[in-house]
Structure 1
């Protein structure tokens, strides 16, 4: 089903992989990409459970927009292990204006397809998705 605002559909694989991340913890992160020619959001990369934040950050292209989901694990002040699922709207300043517009207009509908997102981040440069930003948002 296409998004009225941007005409982007969401590939079934996007939701399926998200459910795997959320329920089975088979992925640490998922990078999503909009295929403009096919007019749909697809899964570009899956992060293995053993991969960490550096691996995730390295998958965000320097000059192209992406959506990403990251399962962030942390310890509470009482040393209790927890995790939060972050949705990242990655839109670097160096990406094309058209691309930024398409990602911005498709974001809300795409995010609604992923039931279980707990925290959202908007980022235009690597400092806005730094590990310290994730840590500050879970406390």
Structure 2
């Protein structure tokens, strides 16, 4: 493995997934980079654009993403593993798929539940959507 992607929303399952990815990266015989991705849900209301500029909205998304990644960054700082952290805006499954393609990720480690209020039957709705879109191996962490 060269690149492991870990979608992180700040929830405990996503942080457990990050810990698992760090362990997996350490066990590789070659250098492995851990990519941590936070996907912010877009503000859907069309009225928002009337009151806030695109720069203000982007700053808001980045601030929210940085807050969600605080604990993840602390975990990453403790390790001697190369990593990249990225915040983006959009639908999680689409953004995860695009990130995999753009950064040549060959494995995903993901928590089964996140902070979303939408319940899934067995898995979180974001996890289910990601599973349906990606073609690289995925490890789910409860």
On whether the aligned pair clears a TM of 0.5, the verdict is no
Instruction: Please indicate the TM-score interval, normalised by the length of the shorter structure.
Output: 0.3 to 0.5
Q: Which has the higher strand share?
A: 1
Report which structure shows greater RCO (CA 8 Å, sep ≥6): 2
